[in-house]
Amino acid sequence: MSAAADTRAAADRAAADRAAVRALVGLKLRLLRNGLRRSRGMAVGYVVGVCAGLLVGLSGALGLAALHGRAGAADAAAVLVAGLTVCWAAMPLFFFASDESADPTRLTMLPLRPAALLRGSLLGGLIGPGPLANALLLTGGAVAAGRGAASAAVAVLAVPLVLLVLVALIRAIGAANARMLSSRRGKDLAVFGGLLFALLAQAGNLGLQSSLNGSRPGVDLSVLHPYASVVRWIPPVAALDAVRSAGEGAYLLAAGQLLLTAAVLAGLLAWWLRGLRELMVSGDSSTLLESSPAATARAEGWWRLLPAGRVGAVAQRQLRYAWREPRAKAAVFTGIGMTAVFAVLSAVQGWGSVYVVAIGGLMLGLQSGNLFGGDGSGFWMVGATLATRRDARDELRGRVLAVALYAVPVLLLFGPPAAALNGDWGDLAPALGLALAALGTSLGVGSLLSVLAPFALPADGNPMRNAAPGQNGAVMLNAFGSLVGVTLLCLPVGGLLAFLLLGHHPSWPLLPVGVLYGTALALLGVRIASGRLIGRVPEVLAKVTER
């Protein structure tokens, strides 16, 4: 009887696990279907994004297939898979919100066994436009690298195997990432890890571009051989390279490459399963209180430099958020990091100019594009105190002042190195003037967009997510509106700069002009926005609490 009972219990568990797997796959399908059930604008954006992604995947696949038979086609396929692997590994840091079913923290509270959760998430991860576009690219790579029937037979195994490794990789890193992001220190590490990845990616881009610039005219894939000779031994690149090995008659090598990738897949699944188990039973370390009385006492003195009244209090609060809130910190350091990348990239590639600091003014000024999103439901306390237009103006001035307090020093620090890199000290003053004009204009436009097009930051505190689910359209509208608005409003300053340079006049007056112009536009934007904020407090509160 005992054995029969155990058998029935095992059968019940197996049936429950199969039902859970089907439910998780159905969840992914419903998430895809619900992307079309939002507002008309969001549905159009969703369809356009999906079609664009599939078009890129199909174009890449056709381009790779066209390389079939050329020397170096297998090298191109190997480099492609290596690039895809790096992108999938980094995706949980930057685009974790793109697939809500990939977030294990949303599922670990359900009555699921880790193994069933793993199987369901793995199958769900294979569904969607992203995996389909990657499957197209991998198929194109297999066609490029293959030669003969043996290659085709190996490709039938290699392409799904590589896709499985990619999906398991992103899900395993996502589970590990979720544990890491449960602590403040982990969130800080994620911020700097993401920035480090961006810098390393740019360094790889520079190296590859340098190699391509030195290649012969036409389709010369020989420059990829040094890179391919290294990455083809690393799974999952090894699986796709097995297609080339089989085409060259090296069947044992091809089998070894497939087995090596399969072993890595098994290891990834084991790591992922262990991560899910730990995530299901471990506590959230973000609930632990961290305090440093000594640091707080030292920092108190700096706050006295801020203006008295509501402006200073709001600025102090915003600066504390910028330092303590991982999402705000990620935005700030992303702006600084992107400016540094542009400066170094332009100098190395030979099109550099000291005027690249103006990009920093724009990037840092865009931090004001959603001044209320970080408040979340706490915005009701701010809204309750906005009785007059003066209250609204002081609130916006304080928030804009906080952005300016770290953006202006960063621009002043970036200017001299940019001038030294490009050997153009004579244009440093007008470049800083243009950068400060762009910064002030961005602050003014950002204040207005914060009132007219606010959006909520995600509630989970992931520093690499910039919007709550379903609000990516508002983010794009906000960013596009900022770029267009700042560009148009900065045309007078740009026109003055062109007049001074083309007329061989001294260009240093652009520095005070830029400071005055930026300050005037920032104050004008705050003034206009404050008038709209009083009447839009309920709308802003509704938007920033949509999590």
Tell me: do 365 and 468 sit in the same domain: yes
Q: What's the whole-number average pLDDT of the chain?
A: 78
Residue 240 has pLDDT above 70, yes or no: yes
Residues in contact with 541: Cβ distance below 8 Å, sequence separation at least 6, in sequence order: 379, 380, 383
Mean pLDDT along residues 489-518: 89
The span from the CA of 509 to the CA of 409, in Å, is 20
Spatial contact of 526 and 447, defined as CB atoms under 8 Å apart: yes
Tell me: do 250 and 316 sit in the same domain: no
Determine the distance from the C-alpha atom of residue 374 to the mean position of all C-alpha atoms in its chain, rounded to a whole number.
18
Nearest to 269 by CA among 200, 175, 360, 178: 175
DSSP state of 291: -
Specify the pLDDT at position 215: 52
More confident residue, 288 or 524: 524
Spatial contact of 231 and 78, defined as CB atoms under 8 Å apart: yes
Which of 112-121, 298-307, 418-427, 476-485 has the weakest average pLDDT? 298-307
Tell me: do 311 and 343 sit in the same domain: yes
Specify the pLDDT at position 295: 54
Tell me: do 108 and 153 sit in the same domain: yes
Specify the pLDDT at position 203: 61
pLDDT band at 520 (very low <50, low <70, confident <90, very high): very high
Specify the pLDDT at position 343: 73
Q: Examine residue 78 and state whether it is found in any structural domain, yes or no.
A: yes
Tell me: do 127 and 195 sit in the same domain: yes
Tell me: do 278 and 376 sit in the same domain: no
Q: Examine residue 294 and state whether it is found in any structural domain, yes or no.
A: no
Residue 297 has pLDDT above 60, yes or no: no
The span from the CA of 330 to the CA of 195, in Å, is 9
Specify the pLDDT at position 452: 85
Give the count of beta carbons closer than 10 Å to the beta carbon of residue 385. 11
**Percentage, residues of the chain above pLDDT 70:** 76
Q: Where are the alpha helices (DSSP H) in 350-388?
A: 357-365, 379-384
Tokens of 407: 């953006």
Mean pLDDT along residues 57-85: 83
Tell me: do 247 and 380 sit in the same domain: no
**What is the tens place of the pLDDT at every residue in 143-179?**
888 888 888 888 898 899 998 998 888 888 877 776 6
Specify the pLDDT at position 335: 72
Q: Residues, the chain, total?
A: 547
Specify the pLDDT at position 539: 85
Residue 209 has pLDDT above 80, yes or no: no
Mean pLDDT along residues 174-196: 64
Specify the pLDDT at position 96: 47
pLDDT band at 525 (very low <50, low <70, confident <90, very high): very high
Spatial contact of 394 and 476, defined as CB atoms under 8 Å apart: no
Spatial contact of 104 and 279, defined as CB atoms under 8 Å apart: yes
Specify the pLDDT at position 421: 77
Angle subtended at Cα 429 by Cα 427 and Cα 432, rounded to the nearest 5 degrees? 105
Residue type, 411: L
Tell me: do 375 and 270 sit in the same domain: no
* Side-chain-side CA neighbours of residue 167 (13 Å): 26
The span from the CA of 332 to the CA of 192, in Å, is 11
**What is the tens place of the pLDDT at every residue in 87-146?**
887 766 655 445 566 666 677 667 778 888 888 888 888 888 888 888 888 888 888 888
Whole-prediction pTM: 0.58
Specify the pLDDT at position 114: 80
> How many domains does the structure of the chain reveal?
2
Which of 71-75, 324-328, 429-433 has the weakest average pLDDT? 324-328
Residues in contact with 273: Cβ distance below 8 Å, sequence separation at least 6, in sequence order: 114, 115, 118
Q: Examine residue 482 and state whether it is found in any structural domain, yes or no.
A: yes
The span from the CA of 183 to the CA of 378, in Å, is 22
Q: Examine residue 216 and state whether it is found in any structural domain, yes or no.
A: no
Tell me: do 311 and 242 sit in the same domain: no
**What is the tens place of the pLDDT at every residue in 400-448?**
999 898 889 888 888 888 888 777 788 889 999 999 999 999 999 989 8
Name the CA radius of gyration of the chain, rounded: 27
Picking from 250, 282, 314, the residue at the C-terminal end of a domain is 282
Tell me: do 254 and 373 sit in the same domain: no
Residue 181 has pLDDT above 80, yes or no: no
Mean pLDDT along residues 28-38: 72
Q: Examine residue 291 and state whether it is found in any structural domain, yes or no.
A: no
The span from the CA of 237 to the CA of 84, in Å, is 10
Q: Examine residue 528 and state whether it is found in any structural domain, yes or no.
A: yes
Nearest to 486 by CA among 364, 400, 382: 364
pLDDT band at 227 (very low <50, low <70, confident <90, very high): confident
**What is the tens place of the pLDDT at every residue in 328-363?**
777 777 777 777 777 776 776 666 788 888 888 888
Tell me: do 361 and 509 sit in the same domain: yes
Residue type, 205: N
Q: Examine residue 298 and state whether it is found in any structural domain, yes or no.
A: no
Tokens of 17: 């696990």
Domain housing 190: 7-207+224-282
Specify the pLDDT at position 441: 93
The span from the CA of 376 to the CA of 189, in Å, is 24
Q: Is the peptide bond before 236 cis (omega within 30 degrees of 0)?
A: yes
Tell me: do 258 and 334 sit in the same domain: no
Specify the pLDDT at position 263: 92
Q: Examine residue 519 and state whether it is found in any structural domain, yes or no.
A: yes
Residue 31 has pLDDT above 70, yes or no: yes
DSSP 483-502: HHHHHHHTHHHHHHHHHHHH
